[in-house]
């Protein structure tokens, strides 16, 4: 599967979301989209990242953008995570990791000496025409949301 590259149109996809609706990327044409991939609900770094996007949500929407979070967690886990952290944006369930593979974020990872496949924390900015205009790969949570807001502002 080809990895989406900056300057290319992002292929459409549909995933189930914590809002109870299926989310189709093409529904957001005409708006900027922050698509952030994270490894796992209820873990410290993923919770911090989600809460920082939550806290900046008004600022992001004022810039004409929407936030969509994606992980391989099942829908029930997304719903609990959304409710626990009062997230104002949908989390999408990519259990078969097809969308994660499309963005090249489903990779071999190492932790405590063991290897496994998982999400490498990454964020993508898609413009109003559905073109990938910026990407942040191998993200460190601290300061990341501020970087994405700066990216939206200049795009």
Q: What are phi and psi of 66, to 5 degrees?
A: -120, 155
Catalytic residue among 23, 34, 46, 105: 46
46 noted as active-site residue? yes
Q: Collapse the DSSP code of 33 into the 3-class scheme (helix H, G, I; strand E, B; otherwise coil) and give the result.
A: strand
Q: Which residues are CB-contacts of 74 (< 8 A; sequence separation ≥ 6)?
A: 93, 95
Question: Cα(154)–Cα(78) distance, rounded to whole angstroms?
Answer: 31
Catalytic residues: 46
């Amino acid at each position: 599967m080809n990895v989406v590259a900056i300057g290319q149109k992002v292929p459409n996809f549909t995933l189930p979301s914590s809002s109870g609706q299926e989310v189709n990327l093409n529904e957001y044409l005409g708006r900027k989209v922050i698509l952030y991939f994270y490894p796992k609900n209820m873990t410290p770094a993923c919770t911090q990242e989600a809460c920082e996007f939550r806290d900046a949500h008004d600022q992001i929407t004022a810039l004409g953008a929407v936030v969509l979070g994606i992980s391989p967690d099942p829908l029930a886990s997304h719903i609990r995570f959304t409710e626990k952290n009062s997230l104002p944006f949908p989390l999408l369930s990519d259990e078969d990791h097809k969308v994660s593979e499309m963005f090249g974020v489903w990779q071999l990872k190492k932790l405590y000496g063991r290897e496994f496949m998982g999400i490498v924390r990454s964020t993508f900015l898609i413009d109003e025409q559905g073109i990938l205009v910026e990407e942040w790969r191998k993200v460190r949570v601290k300061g990341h949301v501020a970087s994405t807001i700066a990216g939206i502002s200049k795009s």
